[in-house]
A and B are shown apart, each in its own frame.
Chain A
Amino acid sequence: MVTTLTVHRARRFIAPLALCMALIAGVAQASASTGDAAKAFVEDVSKRAIDIISDKNTSKAEREAQFAKLLDETADMDRIAAFALGQYLRTPTPEQKAEYLGLVKTFIVKVYVTRLSDYNDEKLDILGAKEKGDKQAIVQSEIRFTNGREPVTVDWWLIKNDGDFKIFDVNVVGIWLAQEQRSTFTSVIRNNGGDFNALLGHLRQQIDKAEAGEIPSVNASN
């Protein structure tokens, strides 16, 4: 930690020296800044997400559009979509794959705008960050509630894509969400004799149901 601060200060004046020091400091140096970068990334993403979800003046469609944009910028959607297919990853044709990628994005936006709708104006505290290899990091955080409800732990699994962090999976009170999606997606394909179109059909159905307003935009009772 002390080295980090020193290096940061030094960089302002003599960048080349700082670079040398960073190289010498090696792994410890790299880990500190990777962790900090990961934390800053999560701080930013969660703030933007909470802002979108909390703004009840916007329509549901607008909120979904904003959330879709946020996911586009901050989540590794292609990797998530690939992961969610499990052992069926290689089965779709190029056309099916293209349609799947589109549907899965829409589906995830609709699901999470709904599921997150009861987190209003809450605060997310970053607890710490752990590195996982040199391309991945896990940021641990906690949502604290003002009404005395037990805090909810949220872990963010990040992966570096061209040097930038992207979200791969989010763990809420011990549940990995991408793993949950994968289990249902693979189950649909498996139970339809390996037919990839069955999954596309189910996704379209879910999205249509959401469009028809069967998923409430705001959690009414509480």
Chain B
Amino acid sequence: MKITYRTGRRSAAAHAILAFALLFGLAAAPHAAMAADEPAAQTSANDGSDENDPLEPMNRYFFELNKFFDTILLKPVATWYDGVVPEPGRDGVRNFLDNLRSPVILANDLLQGEWERAGTTASRFGINTTVGVLGLFDPAADWGMPQHSEDFGQTLGTYDVAEGPYLYLPVLGPAPPRDLTGFVVDQFFDPLTYIYWDKAKTVPVTRFVVNGIDQRARSLDTLDQIERTSVDHYATVRNLYRQIRKNEIANGTRNFDDLPDIENLNFDTNEPDSPRIGF
């Protein structure tokens, strides 16, 4: 059930969206904290993660749009890639892309005060770039330093910045204000942004596209299964995104204290709730 909505570095191809994203993300962020409190107060059995989607009609439209392009383009290409390129090749691609992302991960490890993880990231970059032949192999993982990912959205999450209202964008997918802001800030942590600042964008675009294909290829079965077994595919993806992000922000540490109170929950005794019609 591992789903990768990892916000890898998106390139110049999405520059127009990014410009909008930056404005929107920064403008929307302050509202996030207020908006998040409101649905949480609704019912004891609601942890507030199911709603807070004021732009749902627009989000659903973009969701269907992405699904359409996925069906006619991304999924066929990813299926082809998965079938034609042998696994060691695909792993090399993944390792190389992961290694390229190390500076961004390192910056966020440091901003979160995760000194040990920052050390791991730095060592991984050193080892994999040299012994791992420019990052094509991942010997560091075998030496007890497994890969982990970080982004500025997660960093903001560790600073208790709320995720904000859900937002689903073309190409980018789930990108609520906190994570969208994080995505934009991450561009400035990435040396490649400066290297290709005023040059042709072939390298960043290629990186973006290959990353997308590889991630899609790695989740072919999982995403198919989720789509087939969902009563409402959009709502499932929204919930999975939120749960995955929450888990990523906690670096996999489980917190069982903030689970909803279910002890007195049943059809007969739960306090009556006026149903919220519409949203």
Contact = CB atoms under 8 A, between A and B. Distances in A.
Interface of A: 78-79, 82-83, 86-91, 97, 107, 110-111, 114-115, 118, 130, 132-133, 135-136, 138, 140, 150, 152-153, 155, 157, 159, 168, 171-176, 179-191, 193-194, 199, 202-203, 206, 209, 214-215, 219, 221-222
Nearest to B236: A184
Contact of B221 (A86, A130, A174, A222): A222
Contacts of A186: 50, 235
B221 A219 contact: yes
A83 B265 contact: yes
B276 A180 contact: no
A132 B247 contact: no
Nearest to B254: A155
Given A159-B263, A183-B49, A174 B247 contact: yes
A175 B236 contact: no
21 contacts: A83-B265, A86-B46, A87-B42, A87-B273, A87-B275, A89-B270, A114-B229, A115-B229, A171-B254, A173-B2, A174-B246, A174-B254, A179-B49, A181-B231, A182-B50, A183-B50, A184-B230, A184-B236, A187-B50, A191-B56, A214-B228
A133 B260 CA distance: 13
A112 to B, nearest CB: 9
B240 interface: yes
A213 to B, nearest CB: 11
B272 interface: yes
Interface in B1-53: 1-2, 42-43, 45-47, 49-50
A138 B243 CA distance: 18
Given A114-B228, A206-B229, A187 B234 contact: yes
A43 to B, nearest CB: 20
B220 interface: yes
Given A83-B260, A187-B238, 16 more contacts: A82-B265, A97-B267, A107-B231, A136-B262, A152-B1, A173-B2, A173-B247, A176-B243, A180-B239, A183-B239, A184-B230, A190-B279, A194-B277, A199-B231, A209-B228, A214-B228
B266 A82 contact: yes
B192 interface: no
Given A86-B50, A115-B1, A206-B231, A174 B252 contact: yes
Which of A181, A187, A199, A202 gathers most chain B CB within 10 Å? Answer: A187
Interface string B127-159: 000000000000000000000000000000000
